């Protein structure tokens, strides 16, 4: 379980997180939704200790990340798999080596075992026949799938997905969501998915948290979020706008 308690973060004059409180239940898929530029990625980076809060806490299984440094922080980070924006594959490596990377970094498995596990994950995402290509040769959708295989390869307890399907066509979007769902059923990890894909993300998330103006305005089941009377949520999920919404929302509704 991950508990976020009164988390505050500002960059110069911009208060991005303004007292975030959120409990991310173990073994479930939690979606974080909210306006572009609203701080979702910043929040995700706090969960793995890549950013430190100005105040507040992130507790991972009861351990306060803010108190950890060096090896102790690395140990907690080993529980995590991450799929950050862009996939961030190493173009100078083969697809197989990319997927094997976390195993080489974090385990003492033999090379044979590493290759076997990496290949299994590539098979699971339908990329076994691309294993020996360089990742620069992959299409955008293939890169996302390879990055997913890499995030899963060391059987992490917690996986953070930052917009895993952005820029993909609807068929690929559904195929990535299906892969996450299948992997989740198989491995039972705790997942946090930052997503703009509404309503599609509701098909794979058990709980949904909406971040707005630096706080979580509602955390509930997808059904309850869809039926929410909260005007902020209604505006967000229907894509409508009023004078208080941000520029992106306004553009989307043609205002």
* Minimum CB–partner distance for residue 73 and ligand ATP (Å): 18
Produce one character per residue of 53-80: b if its CB has 16 or more CB atoms within 10 Å, e if not.
beebebebeeeebbebeeeebeebbebb
Burial class of 143 by CB neighbour count within 10 A (0 to 12, 13 to 18, 19+): buried
Select from 23, 149, 158 the least CA-distant residue to 78.
158
Residue whose structure tokens are 């110069």: 12
- Which CB sits closer to ligand ATP, 125 or 216? 216
* Minimum CB–partner distance for residue 145 and ligand ATP (Å): 21
**What CA–CA distance (Å, rounded) separates 38 from 14?**
11
* Minimum CB–partner distance for residue 37 and ligand ATP (Å): 5
- Which CB sits closer to ligand ATP, 42 or 130? 42
- Which CB sits closer to ligand ATP, 87 or 102? 87
Determine contact, residues 7/57, Cβ cutoff 8 Å. Answer: yes
Strands 2-11 and 207-212: unpaired
* Minimum CB–partner distance for residue 51 and ligand ATP (Å): 7
**What CA–CA distance (Å, rounded) separates 165 from 201?**
10
* Minimum CB–partner distance for residue 41 and ligand ATP (Å): 3
- Which CB sits closer to ligand ATP, 34 or 164? 34
Q: How many CB atoms lie within 10 A of CB 190?
A: 23
- Which CB sits closer to ligand ATP, 16 or 180? 16
Residues that bind ligand ATP (CB under 6 A): 11, 14, 16, 34, 36-42
């Amino acid at each position: 379980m991950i508990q976020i308690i009164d988390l505050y973060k500002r960059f110069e004059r911009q208060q991005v997180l303004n007292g975030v409180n959120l409990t991310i239940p173990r073994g479930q898929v939690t979606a974080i939704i909210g306006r572009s530029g609203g701080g979702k990625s910043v929040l995700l980076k706090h969960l793995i200790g890549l950013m430190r809060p100005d105040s507040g806490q992130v507790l991972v299984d009861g351990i306060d990340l803010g108190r950890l440094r060096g090896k102790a922080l690395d140990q907690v980070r080993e529980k995590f798999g991450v799929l950050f924006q862009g996939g961030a594959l190493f173009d100078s490596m083969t697809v197989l080596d990319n997927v094997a990377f976390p195993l080489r970094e974090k385990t003492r498995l033999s090379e044979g075992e590493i290759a076997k596990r990496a290949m299994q994950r590539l098979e699971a995402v339908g990329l076994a026949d691309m294993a020996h290509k360089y990742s620069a040769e992959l299409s955008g959708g293939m890169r996302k799938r390879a990055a997913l295989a890499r995030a899963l390869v060391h059987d992490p307890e917690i996986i953070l997905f930052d917009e895993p399907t952005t820029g993909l066509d609807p068929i690929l979007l559904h195929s990535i969501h299906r892969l996450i769902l299948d992997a989740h059923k198989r491995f039972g990890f705790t997942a946090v998915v930052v997503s703009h894909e509404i309503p599609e993300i509701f098909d794979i998330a058990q709980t949904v948290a909406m971040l707005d103006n630096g706080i979580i305005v509602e955390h509930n089941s997808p059904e309850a979020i869809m039926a929410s009377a909260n005007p902020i949520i209604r505006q967000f999920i229907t894509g409508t706008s009023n004078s208080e919404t941000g520029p992106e929302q306004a553009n989307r509704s043609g205002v």
